């Protein structure tokens, strides 16, 4: 009996932490769309920031052609 009660309370605790009780986004559809757009924009900016950190957005200086507009 005690085992069933502890398993039932554990199941209730696990189900309450799945996001059903605390919503990640507002219930208003307009506000929810704004929240989703902000989140997707943040993820897009992380990708560009990662390129900037690893200098992937700069031209390679190992090529024989001058591509950065320096003195020729």
List, for residues 37-47, the tens digit of each pLDDT value: 888 888 888 88
Token pair recorded at residue 27: 């219930």
- Overall pTM surpassing 0.75 (yes/no): no
Q: For 66, what's the count of Cα atoms within 13 Å in the CB-facing half-sphere?
A: 4
1 neighbors 12 (Cβ within 8 angstroms): no
Per residue in 1-32, is it b (16+ CB within 10 Å) or e — as a string? eeeeeeeeeeeeeeeeeeeeeeeeeeeeeeee
More confident residue, 60 or 12: 12
Helix or strand run (H / E) with residue 9 = helix 2-16
Does the pLDDT of residue 36 top 70, yes or no?
yes
């Amino acid at each position: 009996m005690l085992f069933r009660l502890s398993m039932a309370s554990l199941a209730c605790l696990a189900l309450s932490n799945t996001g059903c009780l605390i919503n990640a986004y507002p219930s208003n559809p307009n506000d929810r769309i704004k929240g989703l757009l902000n989140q997707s924009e943040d993820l897009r900016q992380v990708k560009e920031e990662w390129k900037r950190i690893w200098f992937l957005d700069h031209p390679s200086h190992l090529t024989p052609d001058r591509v950065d507009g320096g003195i020729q």
